[in-house]
Chain A
Amino acid sequence: DAGVTQSPTHLIKTRGQHVTLRCSPISGHKSVSWYQQVLGQGPQFIFQYYEKEERGRGNFPDRFSARQFPNYSSELNVNALLLGDSALYLCASSLTGSETQYFGPGTRLLVL
């Protein structure tokens, strides 16, 4: 069975640009969560979506937004990129959001 997939694997952007990261959950999972992991730290929660509705939001600025599609895949959008947005962005899926979350391999974003 395919696990959580994310695209792209790596991305380089410049300050001020916009980026869209994509995530496909495990088949049958209806909830997707996004996390940011800055080098040397543990992942930090950004968003959780279930059935296309936002169920939780971490302490991130409004430049960060996300959505979930009818097929339960999800996009994370970050506007007006800052150098500090350079990180590994992780997507995790679960059945309804309250069960075990399984992570994808992440997208490594470098902002120059």
Chain B
Amino acid sequence: DAKTTQPTSMDCAEGRAANLPCNHSTISGNEYVYWYRQIHSQGPQYIIHGLKNNETNEMASLIITEDRKSSTLILPHATLRDTAVYYCIVRGGAAGNKLTFGGGTRVLVKP
């Protein structure tokens, strides 16, 4: 499975953009980058995914570098309810359809 590397934790200010980096240098051509988040004791919530193009939805934007070795999840206006653990996952290809979760980034949004 392609591995991902994320910072262990980060803080951001309420109302500001939160930029969450992820490295996936061993990603292969047919593997997608997925982002989920998990608010304490709840099931993971799907945020966004992409293959090579940048993606945007109502929750966030996903910026994937041209070489696909890293990506950034952007929460445009962080709120206190965005406090969660954010997981960057590479999925598909030889690894199949399972999601392999790493440690994620613990994001604390402060007022």
- Residues of A in contact with B (beta carbons under 8 Å apart): 4, 31, 33, 35, 41-45, 48, 55-56, 58, 88, 90, 92, 94, 97-98, 100-106, 108
Most buried by B among A4, A42, A48, A92: A42
How far, in whole Å, are A108 and B99 apart by their CA atoms in the complex? Answer: 20
Give chain B's interface secondary structure class: loop
Pick the contact of B43: A31, A45, A48, A104 (CB < 8 A): A104
**A42 and B98 contacting across the interface, CB-CB below 8 Å:** no
Q: How many residues of B contact A (CB 8 A)?
A: 20
Most chain A beta-carbon contacts within 10 A, residue among B34, B49, B98: B98
Q: Which label, helix, strand, loop or mixed, suits the secondary structure of the A interface?
A: strand
**Cα of A77 to Cα of B36 in the assembled complex, Å:** 26
Is A45 a contact of B98 with CB atoms below 8 Å?
yes
Q: How many Å lie between the Cα of A41 and that of B104 in the bound state?
A: 9
Most buried by B among A33, A44, A101: A101
